[in-house]
Amino acid sequence: MGLGSTASPGNVVAVLRARGPLTRQQLQEHLGLSRATLVERLDTLARHRLVAPVGHRASSGGRPAQLLAADQSSRVAVVGSIGASLVSVGVADLRGTVLAEQSDRVPLGHSPDHVLPWMLDTARRQLDALGRAGDLAAAGIAVPGQIDQETGVSIMPPTMAAWRDQPLRDMFADGLSVGVELENDANALAYGEYLAAGRPSSTVLGVAVGSGIGAGVVIAGRPHRGATGCAGEIGHIRIEDRDERCGCGRRGCIAALASGTALVRRLRGDGVRALPDVVRRVVAGEAHAVSLATEAGRLLGTVLATVVTILNPNLVRVGGEIGALPPFLAGLAETLGHQAHEVAARGLDVGPAVLAERAQLVGMAGLAAEAVLAPGAIDRLVVG
């Protein structure tokens, strides 16, 4: 069978991922292969650490049949997220289990010259500490704003001007010597929550609220990027009759009203200087901070009511340093429930990201795994 065949090595793995674990006989039945061809396929896949035995099927008589599954633990990916004020990097296996992670607070206006070497050095140290440097198969990096998926070039938000038009895919690929998946940070959050929910067939809306605001959508198991890659850029939807200046240069954007940056500005008279100060004050229950966080959540809920009515998701998961705050989420959920279309809001599950701060890393591990374990990628690997 040639590349692209329904019984190619890549499609053997695809069947095991979708239906496994399976016995050899079950695989034969699914794929229509001769026993000799299947044995050859499985031997090749085992050598490349793509298939592994996972026990035996219970039998009422005779020798129990060995069960096989796609091997998603023998190889790993470097995963990371780059934000306006927080950068994280870790190592995860292809099941999405995070094996190591580290975060670093960075100043607003940071540049690749400082952050990229730190991420690469940290990832190498993590791989060495885990003894997994030889198992590296891919990398997945989440970034704010749009990405040109053809070129791997970032189109960052105004708060990260130094990262704009940077060839991030090539920069990470050169540093790690593996293929690199780039994704919008809110899409990464949504995909991580999709995985945590058990890969439902439903639509998942992920909302990231930190220094800025963004949304990500997973439809039928795939991130939805839109025609030009800007799907989910809700931070720059304008609110009528509001005049606050946004970092994009316009006025009245929801990011200028309800983001962490907006809350820092509004609490500056209380001595707040940075995003962590806002979080500490809200967590401590300081009345003014709690009130403003709740108001910000309500404002964003107004925008999300329209998004939910259009997309009709089953799950809405809210993450990020501000999005995770209970008063913010309570205000958001209340307004969303009242203002979304009644049918769209009925049964809608709105809550915090269950993976919390790991959502983006898990999402990028999952997207890296999809790239590495795609039938075409496997066929090219085993033939090459």
Which class would CATH give 76-188+361-372?
alpha beta
The pTM assigned to this predicted structure is 0.93
pLDDT of residue 253: 97
- What are the C-alpha distances in Å from 270 to residues 47, 262, 274? 62, 14, 12
Q: Cα–Cα distance between 282 and 325 in angstroms, integer?
A: 7
Residue 65: partners with Cβ closer than 8 Å, 6 or more residues away = 23, 24, 25, 56, 57, 59
Half-sphere exposure of 320 (CA within 13 A, CB side): 34
Q: Which residues pair with 76 in a beta bridge?
A: 93, 136
Q: Which long-range contacts (CB under 8 A, 24 or more apart) does 106-109 make?
A: 108/84, 108/159, 108/211, 109/159, 109/160, 109/161, 109/162
Q: In 3D, which of 34, 73, 27 has the Cα closest to residue 50?
A: 73
Buried b (16+ CB within 10 A) or exposed e, 114-133: ebbeebbebbeebbeeeebe
Q: Cα–Cα distance between 7 and 5 in angstroms, integer?
A: 5
Residue matched to tokens 């800007």: 230
Q: Cα–Cα distance between 197 and 287 in angstroms, integer?
A: 34
φ, ψ for residue 152, nearest 5 deg: 75, 25
CA angle 231, 92, 200 (to 5 degrees): 50
Q: State both tokens at 249.
A: 């240069």
Strands 222-223 and 315-319 come out as unpaired
What parts of the chain have a pLDDT lower than 70? 1-6, 59-62, 384
Q: In 3D, which of 80, 151, 147, 150 has the Cα closest to residue 119?
A: 80
Half-sphere exposure of 308 (CA within 13 A, CB side): 30
Q: Cα–Cα distance between 44 and 38 in angstroms, integer?
A: 10
Strands 213-219 and 222-223 come out as antiparallel
- What are the C-alpha distances in Å from 108 to residues 68, 158, 221, 228? 49, 11, 34, 27
Q: Which helix (H) or strand (E) holds 204?
A: strand 204-209
Neighbours of 298 (CB within 10 A): 20
Asked if domains 9-71 and 198-353 share a fold, the reply is: no
Do residues 355 and 318 make contact, with C-beta atoms less than 8 angstroms apart? Answer: no
Q: Cα–Cα distance between 91 and 96 in angstroms, integer?
A: 9
pLDDT of residue 20: 81
What fold does the segment set 9-71 form as a domain? Arc Repressor Mutant, subunit A (1.10.10)
pLDDT of residue 6: 66
Do residues 215 and 206 make contact, with C-beta atoms less than 8 angstroms apart? Answer: yes
Q: Cα–Cα distance between 218 and 222 in angstroms, integer?
A: 5
Domains of the chain, residue spans: 9-71, 76-188+361-372, 198-353
Q: In 3D, which of 272, 265, 267, 273 has the Cα closest to residue 288?
A: 267
pLDDT of residue 64: 86
pLDDT of residue 5: 58
Domain 198-353, classified CATH 3.30.450.20, yes or no: no
Q: Which residues pair with 69 in a beta bridge?
A: 52
